[in-house]
C-alpha cells in the first residue's frame, strides 16, 4: 500500500506590536517592546526558520527579539509595508476603510486599492510557499494582514481588521497538495 506524504508549511502572519505612531520610523512603545519579548518566547517553540518583515521600524522591532534568540536574519520586503488608504488625511477614514473592504477596487487619491494591496502581500506569501523552510514568520501591518487573510478566506473583512490586536498572530497551515491553507488565530 502506498501512502502519500503531504508536507506541511506553517506561515505565521504577525501584526506588529504597539507603536508610537503610523509613520514608517515609528518606534515601539515601552509596552510594545515588552510585547515583542513575549512574542519571541511564544514563537520560539514554533521552530521558526525564516523571517521576513515590512521594513517599517515597528515591524522590524517586533521580530528582533525572536531573530536574536534564534540567530536568524530579518529579511525586509517593501511589499509588506502598510497600505496607504489616501495620500491626504481623511476625517471619515474609518468609513472609507470599511468601504474599501466592500469595494476592493475603490481607490482614493494617492492611495492603494484593497485589491492592489492584497496582490502585493499575497505575492510575498506565494514566494514563501516554494522556499525550503517550513516555519516562516511574516511581520506586517493590520490592514495588509487582513487583506492577505481575505485572499485565502473571503470571510475576513473590516470587522476582523477591527478585532486585531497589537501584536496579533495568525497561522496559515499549507499543504503541498494545492489545497487552500487552514487559517487559525493563535495569539491570545
The Cα 156–Cα 12 span in angstroms is: 16
Q: What percent of the chain has pLDDT over 90?
A: 89
For 126-165, how does the pLDDT look when each residue is reduced to its tens digit (9 = 90+)? 999 889 999 999 999 999 999 999 999 999 999 999 999 9
The percent of the chain in helix, strand and coil, each rounded to the nearest 5, is: 40, 20, 40
Is pTM beyond 0.95? Reply is no
pLDDT for 7 equals 65
pLDDT in tens, 18-70: 999 999 999 999 999 999 999 999 999 999 999 999 999 999 999 999 999 99
Phi and psi dihedrals of 68, rounded to 5? -65, -45
* Domain layout of the chain by residue ranges: 8-185
Question: 8-185 has which CATH code?
Answer: 3.40.50.1240
Angle between helices 114-129 and 142-152 (to 10 degrees): 70
Amino acid at each position: 500500500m502506498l501512502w502519500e506524504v503531504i508536507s506541511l508549511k506553517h506561515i505565521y502572519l504577525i501584526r506588529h506590536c504597539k507603536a508610537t505612531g503610523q509613520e514608517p520610523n515609528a518606534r515601539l512603545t515601552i509596552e510594545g517592546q515588552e510585547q515583542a519579548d513575549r512574542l519571541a518566547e511564544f514563537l520560539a517553540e514554533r521552530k521558526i526558520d525564516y523571517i521576513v518583515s515590512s521594513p517599517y521600524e515597528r515591524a522590524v522591532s517586533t521580530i528582533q527579539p525572536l531573530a536574536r534568540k534564534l540567530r536568524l536574519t530579518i529579511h525586509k520586503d517593501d511589499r509588506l509595508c502598510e497600505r496607504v488608504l489616501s495620500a491626504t488625511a481623511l476625517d471619515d477614514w474609518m468609513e472609507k476603510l470599511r468601504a474599501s473592504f466592500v469595494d476592493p477596487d475603490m481607490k482614493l487619491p494617492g492611495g492603494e486599492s484593497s485589491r492592489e494591496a492584497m496582490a502585493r502581500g499575497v505575492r510575498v506569501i506565494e514566494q514563501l510557499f516554494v522556499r525550503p523552510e517550513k516555519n516562516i514568520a511574516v511581520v506586517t501591518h493590520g490592514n495588509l494582514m487582513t487583506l492577505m487573510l481575505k485572499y485565502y478566506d473571503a470571510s475576513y473583512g473590516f470587522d476582523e481588521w477591527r478585532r486585531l490586536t497589537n501584536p496579533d498572530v495568525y497561522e496559515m497551515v499549507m499543504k503541498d497538495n494545492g489545497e487552500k491553507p487552514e487559517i487559525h488565530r493563535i495569539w491570545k
